[in-house]
């Protein structure tokens, strides 16, 4: 099968958590014997910011990590018909330009020879629905939504007649325990500031507990404003700036515990959707204490992480894991076994192929699963 994937960034993960999952899925599709071609804009904002942040060397390491995946940058002279020639499965991410999203849909209507899916991994459906409603999805066979609640939104608003829940997952070829690395820190947290979508939560569930417990801690990420960096400095926290995704396993291995802090739109309006770091940290075997979120889809059974309903709870949870190595090891082990059994990129790649199979089986194929997303 020829799989053609359109994403706003694949080679760069700067402020782009989607890249972690998409790279892993592309890797697994190739490992399953399929041809995989990824298109990304040559001047994409994630790549340009990575270069500006001194990440050219890191970007140059990415192709070697994903051998067999053909990554092609495109510009304004892009020949879409040529890119889609011979495709069997096409996936288009929602951060692509609306014009490109529409053009691919129109090509699908005209050609009718491949399954076409729209992939949504963001909270705009609840925080900026007008941005999604402007997309012309008339030519798409279905939506891949990274949570059941998001899938239901697409159906309820009439944006889609067919949608599938397709959670993110861990790329376990990359995210894995590194037993030869000796932990040097109490806590590590890897995540971006998030456009003030979790600024209060990061102070209440990360910075303040670290300061109260006087932990040896490091935080990595981008877009931290000056006041946040000052707060970290006062709390004795090292700020490491951008950490490319393929270096994160070493950071997890060098610490004894991490924290999960979802952004407010997910915790409040899109229950059941954790950050991808939760899957990745579990795959790496580091125990987690999580700020509030609702696991309404039962992704993770009890005993795979500790829950904190308040800053005080977070302090107690961190103290428990750091003072009780057996408890920490038991939680980390159960979490990793859960990820390996349910939440790897191989699982999601196979699910994607199964979805494509239902779309291309002659009896169930619909030339268009959508009425216009919006006029």
Q: What is the CATH number of the domain that holds 349?
A: 3.40.50.2000
Collapsed DSSP state (helix, strand, coil) of residue 165: strand
Asked if residue 315 lies in contact with residue 186, where contact means CB atoms within 8 angstroms, the answer is: no
Q: Are residues 26 and 98 in the same domain?
A: yes
pLDDT value, residue 344 = 98
Tell me whether residue 372 is in a domain. no
C-alpha pair distances (Å), 139 with each of 29, 151, 179, 362: 24, 18, 48, 17
pLDDT value, residue 134 = 84
Tell me whether residue 256 is in a domain. yes
- What's the gap between Cα 374 and its chain centre? 27
Tell me whether residue 179 is in a domain. no
Q: What CA–CA distance (Å, rounded) separates 369 from 163?
A: 9
Residue 100, Cβ density class (10 Å: 0-12 exposed, 13-18 middle, ≥19 buried): middle
Q: Are residues 150 and 11 in the same domain?
A: yes
Tell me whether residue 177 is in a domain. no
Q: Are residues 156 and 239 in the same domain?
A: no
Q: Are residues 161 and 222 in the same domain?
A: no
pTM, to two decimals: 0.94
| Total of domains in the chain | 2
Q: Are residues 18 and 164 in the same domain?
A: yes
Q: Are residues 114 and 191 in the same domain?
A: no
Q: Are residues 206 and 309 in the same domain?
A: yes
Tell me whether residue 205 is in a domain. yes
- What's the gap between Cα 288 and its chain centre? 18
Both tokens of residue 185? Answer: 């820190």
Domain that includes residue 348, residue range? 2-169+344-360
Q: Are residues 259 and 225 in the same domain?
A: yes
* 310-314 contacts, C-beta under 8 A, 24 or more apart: 310/204, 311/204, 311/205, 311/208, 311/209, 314/204, 314/205, 314/206, 314/209, 314/259, 314/289
**Bridge-based pairing state of the strands 69-74 and 35-41:** parallel
Closest among 288, 335, 292 to 312, alpha carbons compared: 292
pLDDT value, residue 360 = 81
Low-confidence ranges of the chain (pLDDT < 70): 361-375
Q: Are residues 78 and 192 in the same domain?
A: no
Tell me whether residue 368 is in a domain. no
Q: What CA–CA distance (Å, rounded) separates 239 from 80?
A: 42
Q: What CA–CA distance (Å, rounded) separates 36 from 358?
A: 20
Q: Are residues 224 and 315 in the same domain?
A: yes
Q: Are residues 159 and 246 in the same domain?
A: no
Tell me whether residue 178 is in a domain. no
Q: What CA–CA distance (Å, rounded) separates 308 from 329?
A: 19
Closest among 61, 50, 25, 91 to 345, alpha carbons compared: 25
Looking at 305-344, list the stretches that DSSP marks H as alpha helix, in order from N- to C-terminal side: 311-323, 325-342
Both tokens of residue 79? Answer: 């020949």
Tell me whether residue 373 is in a domain. no
C-alpha pair distances (Å), 33 with each of 10, 115, 242, 353, 355: 20, 18, 34, 12, 17
Q: Are residues 135 and 193 in the same domain?
A: no
Q: What is the mean pLDDT of the chain?
A: 93
pLDDT value, residue 112 = 80
């Amino acid at each position: 099968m020829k799989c053609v994937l359109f994403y706003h960034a694949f080679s760069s993960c700067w402020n782009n958590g989607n890249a972690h999952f998409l790279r892993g899925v592309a890797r697994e599709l190739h490992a399953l014997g399929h041809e995989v071609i990824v298109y990304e804009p040559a001047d994409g904002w994630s790549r340009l910011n990575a270069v500006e942040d001194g990440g050219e060397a890191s970007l140059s390491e990415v192709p070697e990590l994903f051998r067999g995946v053909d990554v092609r940058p495109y510009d304004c002279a892009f020949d879409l018909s040529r890119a889609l020639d011979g495709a069997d499965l096409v996936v288009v991410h929602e951060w692509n330009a609306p014009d490109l999203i529409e053009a691919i849909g129109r090509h699908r209507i005209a050609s009718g020879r491949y399954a076409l899916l729209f992939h949504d991994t963001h909270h705009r459906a609840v925080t900026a629905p007008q941005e999604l409603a402007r997309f012309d999805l008339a030519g798409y066979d279905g939506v891949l939504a990274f949570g059941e609640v998001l899938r239901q939104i697409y159906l309820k608003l009439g944006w889609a007649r067919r949608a599938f829940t397709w959670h993110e997952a861990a790329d376990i070829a990359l995210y894995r325990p590194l037993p030869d690395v000796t932990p040097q820190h109490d806590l590590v947290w890897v995540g971006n500031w998030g456009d003030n979508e979790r600024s209060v939560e990061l102070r209440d569930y990360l910075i303040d507990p670290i300061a109260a417990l006087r932990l040896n801690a490091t935080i990595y990420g981008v877009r931290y404003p000056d006041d946040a960096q000052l707060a970290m400095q006062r709390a004795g926290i090292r700020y490491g700036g951008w950490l490319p995704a393929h270096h994160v396993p070493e950071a997890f291995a060098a610490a004894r515990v991490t924290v999960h802090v979802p952004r407010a739109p997910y915790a409040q309006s899109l229950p059941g959707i954790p950050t991808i770091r939760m899957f990745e940290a579990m795959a790496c075997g580091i125990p987690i204490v999580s700020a509030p979120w609702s696991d309404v889809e039962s992704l993770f059974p009890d005993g795979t992480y500790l829950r904190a309903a308040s800053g005080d709870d977070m302090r107690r949870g961190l103290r428990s894991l750091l003072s009780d190595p057996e408890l920490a090891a038991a939680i980390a082990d159960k979490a990793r076994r859960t990820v390996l059994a349910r939440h790897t990129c191989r699982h999601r790649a196979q699910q994607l192929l199964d979805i494509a199979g239902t779309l291309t089986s002659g009896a169930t194929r619909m030339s268009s699963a959508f009425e216009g997303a919006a006029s």
